[in-house]
Amino acid sequence: MVYLKGEDPCEFDVLVVGSGLAGLLAAIKAARFARVCLLTKDALYNTNTWLAQGGIAAALGDDDTPAIHLEDTLQAGAGLCNREAVKVMVEEGPRRIRELLELGVPFDRVAGQLAMTREGAHNRNRVIHAGGDATGQVLHATLQNRLLNNKAITVREYTFVTDLLTCEGEVVGLQTLRGETYRAGTVILATGGLGRVFLCTTNPEVATGDGVAMAFRAGAEVADMEFIQFHPNVFESPKGEMILISEAVRGEGAVLWNSRGERFMDKYHAKAELGPRDIVSRAIVDQMNRQGSRCVYLDMTLRDPLFLKSRFPTIYAMASRYGLDPAKDWLPVVPAAHYAMGGVRTDLHGETNLPGLYACGEVACSGVHGANRLASNSLLECLVFTGRVVERLEKNGRNLPRAVQQKHKKSDEGSKNLSLEFTRGKKLQEELRRLMFTKAGILRHAKDLLTAQRFLKEHAWLADAAPQDRATWELKNLFFLANLIVNSALMRTESRGSHYRLDYPQPADAWRLRRLIWSGKGKKEEDLLAPLSL
């Protein structure tokens, strides 16, 4: 294929938005054959990837196979996984891990072999890790170094992308908050998650779901937005910070106690503390409600102090800062919003319904996670489907049509300018996030969801606004995402995976093979792929 050779500093072959694992990997891989620009709204490291502790799941052990990994993933996904996507992920996973090793990622080893642990809902030890519980930092630092030393990649930090540019139904570039126009034959969205929709979350402040919002405004389909995973083990600091404690801690033998000093998880799932995240999170909430307590307790004291310090150095150091010793003290924990299973709908190569637009990582919805993500499958999904996106680009390519370079349009054309005063905007965002956590969080009910819906309708004016600053843009995007989550949760009249309705506590067969798809043309439902075997 022939690539653009123009001298325009804002014209590239491939634009990558986001700097987590999916964004870094997409840029590095695409730079082998294209001129690439990576844009991120904050510092490169300010991502969910950097905060990831657990590791990457892959069938690498002698007692493991892709077929077993597939079954564990389907079981956790509660009947809604796209089986073909899961099949692709588990089969290609080991090869993608080898690619990371070739890039120099120093995964932990025992006697020369990759160290592997087990997390909730896995039936084998298959989670590899780095730096003990600093997998994300090690992974990100290694790839960031590769990125910054690659002369074929242009990096734009602190560059907030507001909109995708389209021409005759095709994505041809993007617009930034500073008013810059970037044009390219391909845009890859790797903007990460949307956890900041909720008050209590493990996500950093940058996780405001901008990619899902801008893709939808441009005409992309969005799916499965009702499925939000809450992590069971989150330490709330005296300052109100929500600090993730890896699920690998439970995989290494940690147990949960309620405020009465009773172990309770065996009453909720056969695997007790190693049950799926949605079940463990709801069990914790149930125990807190029964006893009127603010938390439950994570007990790591059964393990040797030296083991804890070497296996979980980040967690150990965090606890020590607050006067707790994990080898002696129980750690208070609560569930918090962690991961979105839904997002921009993609096929098995990361393609969306809009020509020129791809998505990978948490912003994408390939269907691999179904109604509830299996622990440590998220980084694996990034590896596999980002690789597939770039391989598809290399095979097919897509040049920017010269004739349409100046005919593109923004999705917010005709909107009214808006810039909220800082205090007002911050207060409104907190009000939204608190409402979403209490009314559309772990436990849902129609009356609560309708309360949230009324609040969102009262602030519908934000949808027509053209924000003039980053904070207002993020607020607009958060309100948009909250609408999708609440409306999807109201329509799914059953409980499945991470979506739990107190008024519809059982799963319904009518919903087992359906997924909600949203687009500018409204809602539609679609049958999932039929079951496949390896």
> Which of 457, 381, 499 shows the shortest CA–CA distance to 25?
381
Q: Is residue 90 part of a domain?
A: no
The answer to whether the beta carbons of residues 203 and 193 sit under 8 Å apart is yes
Domains: count for the chain: 3
Residues lower than pLDDT 70 in the chain: 1-8, 398-422, 521, 523, 526-534
265 and 140, same structural domain?
no
User: Cα–Cα distances in Å, from 479 out to 425, 439, 466, 473?
Assistant: 12, 14, 14, 10
The answer to whether the beta carbons of residues 357 and 215 sit under 8 Å apart is yes
User: Cα–Cα distances in Å, from 534 out to 60, 69, 70, 438, 465?
Assistant: 17, 11, 9, 41, 49
370: left (phi over 0), alpha (psi -120 to 50) or beta: left
- Whichever domain contains 290, its CATH number is 3.90.700.10
The answer to whether the beta carbons of residues 330 and 260 sit under 8 Å apart is no
> Domain of 260?
231-337
| Assigned token pair, 352 | 């969306």
The answer to whether the beta carbons of residues 57 and 374 sit under 8 Å apart is yes
pLDDT of residue 534: 25
- Indicate the pairing of strand 181-189 with strand 11-17: parallel
Residues labelled catalytic = 277
> Which of 525, 451, 359 shows the shortest CA–CA distance to 18?
359
pLDDT of residue 518: 84
261 and 178, same structural domain?
no
> Which of 184, 147, 180 shows the shortest CA–CA distance to 161?
180
**504 bridge partner residues:** 501
State the alpha helices, DSSP H only, in 54-117: 66-76, 83-102
The answer to whether the beta carbons of residues 242 and 189 sit under 8 Å apart is no
Q: Which amino acid is at 326?
A: P
pLDDT of residue 328: 95
> Which of 385, 436, 515 shows the shortest CA–CA distance to 203?
436
237 and 161, same structural domain?
no
137 and 31, same structural domain?
yes
Task: Tell the residue number behind the tokens 């679609």, with chain if given.
Answer: 526
146 and 47, same structural domain?
yes
pLDDT of residue 408: 52
The answer to whether the beta carbons of residues 68 and 118 sit under 8 Å apart is no
Alpha-carbon dihedral sign for residues 343, 348, 352, 357:
positive
- Cα–Cα distance for residue pair 466/417, rounded to 1 Å: 5
Q: Which amino acid is at 381?
A: E
343 and 328, same structural domain?
no
- Cα–Cα distance for residue pair 365/52, rounded to 1 Å: 20
467 and 378, same structural domain?
no
What tens digit of pLDDT does each residue of 444-459 get? Answer: 999 999 999 999 999 9
**36 bridge partner residues:** 14, 153
Helix (H) or strand (E) holding 16: strand 11-17
This prediction has a pTM of: 0.91
pLDDT of residue 421: 61
Residues whose CB is less than 8 angstroms from the CB of residue 56 and which lie 6 or more positions away in sequence, other chains included: 97, 127, 128, 129, 135, 376, 379, 380, 383
What tens digit of pLDDT does each residue of 44-99 get? Answer: 999 999 988 889 999 999 999 999 999 999 999 999 999 999 999 999 999 999 99
What stretches of 314-385 adopt beta strand conformation (E)?
331-340, 343-345, 357-359, 364-365
429 and 401, same structural domain?
no
- Residue 469: DSSP 8-state: S
Choose the final residue of a domain: 288, 310, 337. Answer: 337
Task: Tell the residue number behind the tokens 């030393």, with chain if given.
Answer: 149
The answer to whether the beta carbons of residues 103 and 146 sit under 8 Å apart is yes
252 and 215, same structural domain?
no
176 and 47, same structural domain?
yes
Provide the CA 354 distance to its chain's centre, in angstroms: 21
As a whole-number percent, the residues of the chain with pLDDT over 70 amount to 92
Phi then psi for residue 519, to 5 deg, are -150, 180
50 and 137, same structural domain?
yes
| Assigned token pair, 511 | 């919903």
